[in-house]
């Protein structure tokens, strides 16, 4: 298990983790030392005479302690405690800062892994699961699992020291206490074992399901409304969310209650000890009682921390499996410096299937050159979008090769000189401007060109009506813009990056006919001016006069229409 955990923690952070472990251990030992100091002081304060008597028994006879020295010792003790606690506070601050920082590093890796994987991987992903990994699993792994493992090791070492000390001075009592506490811990462990498994599996499964149900509700608002069955969707969310909250309650209450169970056990031990007076020398009793009282301060929290740590480790072990391959970020490298697309993109004998028994494209040959305006048509579901995915470098053809300006495309990655406008326009959550400029800084933004494109796509009036203009905030899937307006905003976004090849996948099908024609007029104009190629997939025959060549996709083949 430790090996798997270390595989998840980046190498650079492993060193820091070891450092925090050592520091935590030293602080725990310092804590113990502070308690060891407390024992003679309590004894001294309770009964000075007996303290001398005990000292004489261990051979110290010449020591005389004045009230003044006691005051100094107490002052020293107070200062020692304050310093120790300040060091502890600073350590905790740094340690949690480190753990949450590590959690963030892992979340970013998880996102990178998602965004850098190939398109087919992306299509298969359950968004609820991705959100779970990025927002919860990484946090649970660092702040619950890793933290608990470090605590567990430190506390076990401290416990060994305490038990060793007790065994040396009070073997009989310690053995009985060990027996009672050991038995108690075993009972607790077996009683809670099934709970740990339930918590672990519930966190593993129900969080993803609850997230998915929530996404359904957020994204499917209108669909759910029209089904008139809101109750069903809320209940589906509730069913998983309640499971999560139940196990969290179990986990939190266990954490709180361990120390209470331990206190009961300790009190019983102390009671038995006092009642039967295990040791013959009455002088030593006061030392023993004060030792136990002082150790009780350390022992109870220490044991309670151990039980807590075990609970958290067992309950969050699911995170290891989920983050197992987090570092396998396959950044999709381009096999060649992406060519400028100065002469042609060529597809030779391309075949493609999503699975063995469903071939979509069969031995297709196709070429597009700068300045071309080509059209593709074909019945619904025949594979037009799939063909575009292959052409853009998003999915790897099963057979055949793609070349750009004669250079073979080896590794699949989105070809940078292409802008793609999909059937369903997607507006990001952000301002209208951010939706166009897609991450450009203020200095880089070409407002003049944006104004020009908005004008040509007949969006200027719409923007002018918005109080915040280009800075109007959009929620994704917002109904603030109509379907047609969203499509036009998507076309502006695609053109703004000045692509060499514009791919339109039924990108204007929500426009009224005259507007669609005007958009195509403009596209033809801009294509001629900038030598930009356009490949348009559409069912609309009225657009065919814009194309120099029209193809039809049928029976898995791309055929040129004469
Ligand atoms: N990721 C995928 N896994 C398996 N099959 C898929 C996948 N994506 C698409 N398909 C299937 O491939 C076929 C072609 O789909 P595609 O979207 O390319 O058709 P299309 O011609 O663009 O359709 P439309 O005109 O309706 O948009 C469909 O039968 C579809 O179900």
* Domain boundaries along the sequence of the chain: 2-322, 345-561
Mean pLDDT of 356-378: 93
Angle between helix 171-219 and helix 147-169 axes, rounded to 10 deg: 170
Weakest-pLDDT range from 236-245, 286-295, 337-346: 286-295
Superfamily name and number for 2-322:
ABC transporter type 1, transmembrane domain (1.20.1560.10)
Please work out whether the CB of residue 119 comes within 6 Å of at least one atom of ligand 1.
no
CA of 480 to the centre of ligand 1 (A): 29
Backbone CA torsion sign across 190, 247, 309, 18: positive
Q: If 0-12 CB within 10 Å is exposed, 13-18 middle and 19+ buried, where does residue 91 land?
A: middle
Mean pLDDT of 95-108: 96
Mutate to test the pocket of ligand 1, among 118, 353, 381, 387 (most ligand atoms within 8 A of CB): 381
46 pLDDT tier (thresholds 50, 70, 90): low
Q: Distance from CA of residue 437 to its chain's centroid?
A: 27
Mutate to test the pocket of ligand 1, among 353, 386, 539, 553 (most ligand atoms within 8 A of CB): 386
Q: Distances from the Cα of 497 to the Cαs of 143, 237, 256, in angstroms?
A: 42, 41, 57
Token pair recorded at residue 318 = 């699911």
Mean pLDDT of 154-159: 89
Mean pLDDT of 541-556: 93
Q: If 0-12 CB within 10 Å is exposed, 13-18 middle and 19+ buried, where does residue 191 land?
A: exposed
Place of tokens 């800084």: 441
The atom number, within ligand 1, closest to the CA of 388 reads 18
Give the residue, by CA position, lying nearest to ligand 1 atom 9: 386
What DSSP element (H or E) covers 303?
helix 282-315
Angle between helix 282-315 and helix 11-46 axes, rounded to 10 deg: 160
The matching CATH number, chosen from 3.40.50.300, 3.60.70.12, 1.10.3720.10, 3.30.559.10, for 345-561 is 3.40.50.300
Give the residue, by CA position, lying nearest to ligand 1 atom 12: 383
Residue 430, strand partner residues: 474
Please work out whether the CB of residue 552 comes within 6 Å of at least one atom of ligand 1.
no
Residue 77, helix vs strand vs coil: helix
Give the residue, by CA position, lying nearest to ligand 1 atom 7: 354
Spatial contact of 365 and 348, defined as CB atoms under 8 Å apart: yes
Give the residue, by CA position, lying nearest to ligand 1 atom 14: 383
Torsion from C-alpha of 541, 544, 550, 556, nearest 10 degrees: -20
Q: If 0-12 CB within 10 Å is exposed, 13-18 middle and 19+ buried, where does residue 258 land?
A: buried
Per-residue pLDDT of 21-30, as tens digits, reads 999 999 988 8
Give the residue, by CA position, lying nearest to ligand 1 atom 29: 381
Please work out whether the CB of residue 385 comes within 6 Å of at least one atom of ligand 1.
yes
Per-residue pLDDT of 268-321, as tens digits, reads 777 776 776 555 555 556 556 656 665 566 667 778 888 889 999 999 999 999
Mutate to test the pocket of ligand 1, among 121, 383, 552, 553 (most ligand atoms within 8 A of CB): 383
181 pLDDT above the threshold of 80 = no
408 pLDDT tier (thresholds 50, 70, 90): confident
pLDDT score of 335: 46
Angle at 209 between CA 207 and CA 215, to 5 degrees: 105
For the entire predicted model, the pTM comes to 0.81
């Amino acid at each position: 298990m430790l090996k798997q955990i270390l595989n998840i923690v980046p190498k650079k952070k492993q060193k820091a983790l070891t450092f925090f472990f050592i520091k935590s251990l030293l602080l725990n030992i310092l804590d113990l030392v502070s308690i060891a100091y407390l024992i003679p002081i309590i004894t001294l304060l309770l009964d000075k005479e007996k303290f001398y008597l005990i000292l004489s028994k261990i051979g110290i006879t010449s020591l005389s302690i004045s009230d003044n020295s006691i005051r100094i010792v107490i002052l020293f003790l107070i200062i020692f405690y304050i310093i120790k606690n300040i060091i502890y506070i600073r350590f905790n601050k740094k340690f949690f800062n480190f753990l949450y920082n590590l959690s963030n590093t892992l979340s970013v890796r998880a996102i990178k892994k998602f965004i850098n994987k190939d398109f087919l991987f992306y299509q298969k992903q359950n968004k609820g699961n991705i959100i779970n990994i990025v927002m919860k699993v990484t946090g649970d792994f660092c702040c619950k699992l890793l933290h608990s493992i470090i605590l567990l090791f430190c506390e076990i070492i401290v416990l060994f020291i305490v038990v060793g000390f007790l065994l040396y001075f009070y073997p009989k009592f310690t053995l009985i206490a060990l027996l009672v506490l050991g038995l108690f811990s075993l009972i607790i462990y077996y009683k809670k074992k099934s709970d740990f498994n339930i918590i672990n599996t519930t966190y593993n499964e129900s969080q993803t399901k609850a997230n998915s149900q929530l996404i359904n509700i957020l994204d499917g608002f209108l669909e759910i409304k029209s089904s008139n069955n809101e109750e069903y969707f809320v209940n589906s969310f509730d069913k998983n969310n309640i499971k999560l909250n139940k196990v969290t309650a179990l986990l939190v209450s266990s954490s709180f209650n361990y120390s209470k169970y331990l206190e009961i056990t300790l009190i019983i031990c102390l009671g038995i000890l006092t009642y039967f007076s295990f040791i013959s020398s009455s002088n030593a009793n006061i030392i023993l009682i004060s030792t136990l009282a002082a150790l009780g301060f350390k022992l109870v929290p220490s044991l309670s921390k151990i039980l807590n740590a075990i609970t958290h480790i067992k309950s969050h072990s699911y995170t290891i499996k989920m983050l197992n391959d987090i570092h396998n970020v396959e950044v999709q490298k381009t096999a060649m410096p992406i060519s400028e697309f100065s002469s042609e993109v060529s597809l030779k004998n391309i075949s493609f299937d999503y699975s063995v028994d469903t071939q979509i494209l069969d031995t297709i040959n196709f070429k597009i050159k700068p300045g071309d305006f080509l059209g593709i048509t074909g019945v619904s579901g025949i594979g037009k979008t799939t063909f575009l995915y292959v052409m853009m470098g998003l999915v790897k053809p099963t057979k055949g090769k793609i070349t750009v300006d004669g250079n073979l495309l080896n590794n699949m990655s989105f070809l940078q000189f292409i802008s793609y406008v999909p059937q369903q326009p997607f507006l990001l959550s952000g301002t209208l401007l951010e939706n166009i400029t897609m991450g450009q800084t203020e200095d880089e933004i070409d407002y003049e060109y944006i104004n020009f494109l908005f004008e040509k796509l007949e969006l200027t009036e719409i923007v002018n009506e918005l109080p915040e203009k280009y800075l109007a905030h959009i929620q994704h899937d917002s109904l603030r813009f109509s379907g047609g307006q969203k499509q036009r905003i998507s076309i502006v976004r695609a053109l703004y990056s000045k692509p060499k090849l514009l791919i339109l996948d039924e990108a204007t099908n929500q426009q009224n006919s005259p507007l669609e024609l005007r958009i195509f007029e403009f596209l033809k104009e801009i294509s001629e001016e900038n030598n930009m190629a356009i490949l348009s997939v559409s069912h609309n025959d009225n657009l065919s006069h814009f194309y120099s060549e029209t193809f039809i996709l049928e029976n898995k083949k791309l055929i040129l229409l004469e």
